[in-house]
Amino acid sequence: MNIKKISFFLFAFLAIAIGLYPLSYLVFGNNLNSKSQELLASVFWNVSFYTHISLGGIALLVGWSQFSKKFRKKNIRLHRIIGKIYVVSVLVSALFGIYIGFFATGGIIPAVGFITLGIIWFYTTLKAFLEIKEGRVWEHEKMMIYSYAACFAAVTLRLEMPLLVMIFKDFIIAYQVVAWLCWIPNLMVAYFMILKKSKNKIVLGGSKL
């Protein structure tokens, strides 16, 4: 098994594992000790929170498969069905995510971080959907890469948070940092992925002439 296959396996494993994470709230109950009792008593906040994590989990669970070129080519119809599930899940989850971002633990720094993430996630997904409707496949692919990079912030947050708590010895400071660190590097990776794909397309295009 080469590095590329190992990386993809790890990528898929993390997406599935964290995609299933919302189930822990159903099995083990509420673990939101950092939230005020007043907020936890809010029906709308609870609906928003659980809708956000549930649909976000679904987006993580189905989205990783779209990065397999072989899968997309062999299962075009399934690719489109999964794409629709992903888009609907993200658009709803992102909107609720933006709302609950206003109540982020730690004040305005994490609030702005999570709200910005929600806006980027919503925009890139909607843009990807509109691009494919117009038949612009490459533009659609680029926006989907950015969209899933934002979606994958759920994974990077849970990987980074324990390390940041160890480094800063303070949950609030760690949370303020992770609200930005969980998605900015992801978008940077997405940018370089797209850059590499663009160069490959230019080379392949040139070889046909």
The helix (run of H) or strand (run of E) holding residue 38 is helix 37-40
pLDDT for position 173: 97
Counting as low any pLDDT under 70, the low residues of the chain are 1, 28-30, 202-209
pLDDT for position 174: 97
pLDDT for position 12: 92
pLDDT tens, 170-199? 999 999 999 999 999 999 999 999 999 888
| HSE, side-chain direction, 13 A CA sphere, residue 47 | 4
Separation CA 120–CA 114 (nearest Å): 10
Q: How many domains is the chain built from?
A: 1
pLDDT for position 167: 96
pLDDT for position 204: 57
pLDDT for position 13: 94
Q: What is the extent of the structural domain holding 92?
A: 3-28+36-207
Contact of 67 with 15, CB cutoff 8 Å: no
Contact of 83 with 127, CB cutoff 8 Å: no
> From the centroid of its chain, how far is CA 142?
15
pLDDT for position 73: 79
Contact of 61 with 23, CB cutoff 8 Å: no
Does this model's pTM top 0.75?
yes
pLDDT for position 208: 41
